Chains A and B, each alone.
Chain A
Amino acid sequence: MKASPYAFIAPFFVVFGAFSLVPLLYTAWYSLHHVQLSSLDQQTWAGLDNYQNLLSSDFFWNALKNTFSIGVLSTVPQLMAAIWLAHMLNYRLRGSTVWRVVMLTPYATSVAAATLVFTLLFAPDNGMVNWVLDAVGMDPVNWRESDWGSQLAVSSIVIWRWTGYNALIYLAAMQAIPADLYESAALDGATRWQQFRHVTIPMLRPTILFTVVVSTIGATQLFGEPLLFGGVSGTKGGSEHQYQTLGLYMYDQGWIVGNLGKASAIAWSMFLILLIIAAINMLISRRLRKS
């Protein structure tokens, strides 16, 4: 029965093949053709036209730039806050389970629900954020149309949803750090901050790398938050595409405009970008392991 392990993992690979691999290859095929959503059987060979078209398209570069800036705006504060939260929760606390559960609730809410609430908070006319700004004497911001404002608003939804999740991962890793490391550090006179800086962070390095990779992938595929934040014709990501991510641009081209060939080319470009990011990550992690 040497085959049984394969039989066990087979269901996954069957499903993966049917719902991931086949579409992936099919998308590659589409990306080399001119295909319209309304006439799928009329495919004319395009070679690399769709890709060339993208490289010379301002919309594509703009979406790439937005994906990157929203990615940085959301991932960096999110991971830093998560480490800090985890560090706090790692102390003996009253009702620690309650805190941990509370932290995870945003992760359990649906994107749609969360975004709806944030859209109301960021409403230009009577939203709470502008109300607070007004209370401290600042000018209100048109959160949906301003360039940095809209990116910040979208990032805040991502941060809110994912910080707790990452904090839990950090917390688990922190609890695996042997207590005697802290004890000996304390004996040597290290303050709490020094303990955090010189014991916790180095021990967390593999975990941090993991969360960075996962968050980066998530940021590259960012879609639901900006789509719903945009409301009607949300696929445009604002009138100047100020928060149109690659995912939104792909969806807009494929399903709204109906240009499937181009949308497929965008999908594959995203895939290639992710591969590059993964490669960079691997290089860095190798470096880290060596040091």
Chain B
Amino acid sequence: MRTSTRRSHRVTALAAVAVLATGLLAGCASDDDDNSSGSGNGSGGNAGGKTTLTIGTFGTFGYKQAGLYDEYMKLHPDVTIKENVTTRTDVYWPKVLTRLQAGSGTDDVQAIEVGNITEAVQTQGDKFVDLGSQVDKSQWLGWKNDQATTKDGKLIGLGTDIGPMAICYRKDLFQKAGLETDRTKLAAQWKGDWAKYVELGKQYMQKAPSGTKYVDSASSVYNAALGGAQDRYYDKDGNVIWDKSAGVKKAWDVAMTVATSDMSAKLKQFDKPWDQGFANAKFATVACPAWMVGYIQEKSGAAGKGQWDVAAAPTAANWGGSFLGVPKASKHQKEAIELAKWLTAPEQQAKVFAKQASFPSTPAAYSSLTPSPDTLAYFSNAPLTQIYSDSAKTIPSQIFGTKDQPINTALTDVGILQVEQKGKSPEQGWDAASNEIKDVLGQ
């Protein structure tokens, strides 16, 4: 009897181990299932007649909000769409990079931010499907296509939105400070040069309503000014030229005027206090790419309604925007391409604009653009469509590089921030950014 109980103990023990082990394996396996449930059904799993397409995005693309997924699923009853959203690009992109190279785990459609598109083009070109032959390229703005085209002419991403520039300003604060409040006259006052826009800030500060500043941060002025420059951080051949670039120098100087004066609310963009700054009317103007319009409306809330207005920016500029690509690792390439094409077609881009003012990269959509009545009322009935499409048509083609984003962060969040918040001199700020960029480039 004894032996038999002992044996049964052993058996139980072994069984327990076995269960644990299979549990682990099953854990891995089911994970596998998860990853490919969207893509793995291609060959055999279509018994239910449904293909699940996954789309990986970041931030707020607005497709879901504008009801585009539902619409597509209605048009294609055999397709189910699942969106995987990562809030921040700096979390999203490293994840995509590793998955692309592993050749698995990618979504069927993968969004790419403009700050990462060059890295994608130069290093991941062979991991994406060439979409050039699938679409009519002339739908998009030329420079938008150029950004997503590899050296050997493959188009790896279809343009979604772009970020043409304007200035959003609060009429109520401008009036109290004794400034012009008419959007056309204002635009005329700063036309042609961001320095003029900053100059007006000095005037504003002389009679500024208490507790308010002219602009949210020096970095936002920097980004806006740089968005209109022909040369940025890289030259055509991919060499880093940031410290010789006239565009960078000019944007830096304007930002330094802001940082060393008292006209900045010294907020870091997309930080909580910045959001609160909108709600509490802490600053009178903000550089306002089209996608910012929806953001202001949300953060500034009911109290800001009718107080905000939009005027043309000093120079045409672009800030932000994205692309949709289809990884070769997708097991439903055909269906994924269809979805990407449909989502980026002018009609759909116009619908996203109507929802959250993300501006289309397809000029064909411009004539039919109508912002939502809410947005129009919020921004004092400013002619949003006209202001942004005028800007969009004259944006210069810009050259980006693989380390564009880290270099930009070094200049704004190290260089400019030190001058703005820690009282360093512009030279010290420049040197700090310079050291940081050397570290980024591994020099």
Which residues of A does B touch, CB under 8 Å?
1, 4, 7-8, 10-11, 14-15, 34, 36-41, 53, 57-59, 119-120, 123-126, 142, 145, 231-233, 235-236, 239-240, 255-259, 262
Top 7 nearest A-B pairs (CB, nearest first) are A239-B417, A38-B123, A255-B94, A231-B271, A233-B413, A145-B421, A239-B418
| Stretch of B14-22, B46-54, B167-175, B333-341 at the chain-chain interface | B14-22
B101 an interface residue at 8 Å Cβ cutoff?
yes
Residue from A10, A34, A57, A125 in contact with B273 in the complex, judged by beta carbons closer than 8 Å = A125
Question: Distance (Å) between the CB of A48 and the closest chain B CB?
Answer: 15
Q: Does the CB pair B17–A7 fall under 8 Å?
A: yes
Residue from B13, B272, B421, B440 in contact with A257 in the complex, judged by beta carbons closer than 8 Å = B440
Find chain A residues with CB under 8 A from B119 CB: 38, 258
Question: Distance (Å) between the CB of A25 and the closest chain B CB?
Answer: 18
> In residues 400-416 of chain B, which contact A (Cβ within 8 Å)?
402-403, 405-406, 409, 413-414
Question: Distance (Å) between the CB of A245 and the closest chain B CB?
Answer: 16
User: If A11-B17, A119-B272, A257-B403 touch, does A37 touch B98 (CB 8 Å cutoff)?
Assistant: yes
Residue from B21, B90, B413 in contact with A239 in the complex, judged by beta carbons closer than 8 Å = B413
Find chain B residues with CB under 8 A from A124 CB: 273
Chain A residue, CB-CB nearest to B116: A38
| Chain A interface main SS type | mixed
Q: Does the CB pair B414–A232 fall under 8 Å?
A: no
Question: Distance (Å) between the CB of A28 and the closest chain B CB?
Answer: 19
Q: Does the CB pair B24–A14 fall under 8 Å?
A: yes
B124 an interface residue at 8 Å Cβ cutoff?
yes
Q: Does the CB pair A262–B422 fall under 8 Å?
A: no
Find chain A residues with CB under 8 A from B432 CB: 239-240
Docked CA distance A7–B20 (Å): 11
B10 an interface residue at 8 Å Cβ cutoff?
yes
Q: Does the CB pair A232–B270 fall under 8 Å?
A: yes
Docked CA distance A164–B35 (Å): 40
Q: Does the CB pair A38–B402 fall under 8 Å?
A: yes
How many residue-residue contacts, CB under 8 A, span A and B? Answer: 95
Q: Does the CB pair B14–A40 fall under 8 Å?
A: no
Q: Does the CB pair A232–B413 fall under 8 Å?
A: yes
Chain A residue, CB-CB nearest to B274: A232
Residue from A1, A4, A145, A233 in contact with B409 in the complex, judged by beta carbons closer than 8 Å = A233
Q: Does the CB pair A37–B97 fall under 8 Å?
A: yes
Which residues of B does A touch, CB under 8 Å?
10, 13-14, 17, 20-21, 24, 90, 94, 97-98, 101, 119, 123-124, 268-273, 276, 402-403, 405-406, 409, 413-414, 417-418, 421-422, 432, 435, 439-440, 442
Most buried by B among A34, A59, A235, A255: A255
Chain A residue, CB-CB nearest to B270: A232
Docked CA distance A71–B336 (Å): 50
Most buried by A among B98, B276, B442: B442
Find chain B residues with CB under 8 A from A15 CB: 24
Q: Does the CB pair B21–A11 fall under 8 Å?
A: yes
Residue from A1, A142, A255 in contact with B90 in the complex, judged by beta carbons closer than 8 Å = A255
Find chain B residues with CB under 8 A from A119 CB: 272
Q: Does the CB pair A239–B421 fall under 8 Å?
A: yes
Chain A residue, CB-CB nearest to B440: A257
Question: Distance (Å) between the CB of B141 and the closest chain A CB?
Answer: 26
Chain B residue, CB-CB nearest to A255: B94
User: If A232-B270, A256-B406 touch, does A40 touch B98 (CB 8 Å cutoff)?
Assistant: yes
Q: Does the CB pair B272–A231 fall under 8 Å?
A: yes
Docked CA distance A120–B272 (Å): 9
Docked CA distance A259–B285 (Å): 37
Find chain B residues with CB under 8 A from A7 CB: 13-14, 17
Chain B residue, CB-CB nearest to A7: B17
Question: Distance (Å) between the CB of A31 and the closest chain B CB?
Answer: 14
Docked CA distance A36–B124 (Å): 12
Find chain B residues with CB under 8 A from A145 CB: 417, 421-422
Chain A residue, CB-CB nearest to B409: A233
User: If A11-B21, A11-B24, A38-B124 touch, does A259 touch B442 (CB 8 Å cutoff)?
Assistant: yes
Question: Distance (Å) between the CB of B392 and the closest chain A CB?
Answer: 27
